[in-house]
Amino acid sequence: MARDDDESEAPAGRLIGAKQVGWAAVAAVALAFVVLNNEKTEINFLVASPEWPMWVLVVASMILGFLLAKLTGRRRKRD
């Protein structure tokens, strides 16, 4: 059954919110960092030392950081 949620709609006259602008800025900086760091680098694990492009390590680190923040983040109190 479909629900009409007026609260999920953006307010009239406001096309892009501050949160979206912030995420777009983070994405742009991350993309620039990935493009500029394309040389291979060696990673030392306990038993192996593979060489991977730096962008793979940057993206993996971003994903890991995002997941850790989601798992350990505080929940907001709802009034």
20-77 pLDDT, tens per residue? 899 899 889 888 887 888 888 888 888 888 898 888 887 888 899 889 988 987 666 6
Residue 19, domain member (yes or no): no
Domain total for the chain? Answer: 1
Report if residue 65 sits inside a domain.
yes
Does any domain span residue 57? yes
Give the pLDDT score at 4.
53
DSSP state of 8: G
- d(CA 37, CA 18) in angstroms, rounded, equals 29
Residues ≥6 apart with Cβ < 8 Å to 41: 51, 52, 53, 54, 57
Q: pLDDT grade, residue 9 (50/70/90)?
A: low
Residue 25 lies in a domain: no
So what's the pLDDT on residue 25?
A: 93
Q: Establish if 22 belongs to a structural domain.
A: no
Give the range of the structural domain holding residue 66, as residue numbers without chain letter: 39-73
CA-nearest of 53, 59, 64, 51 to 31 is: 59
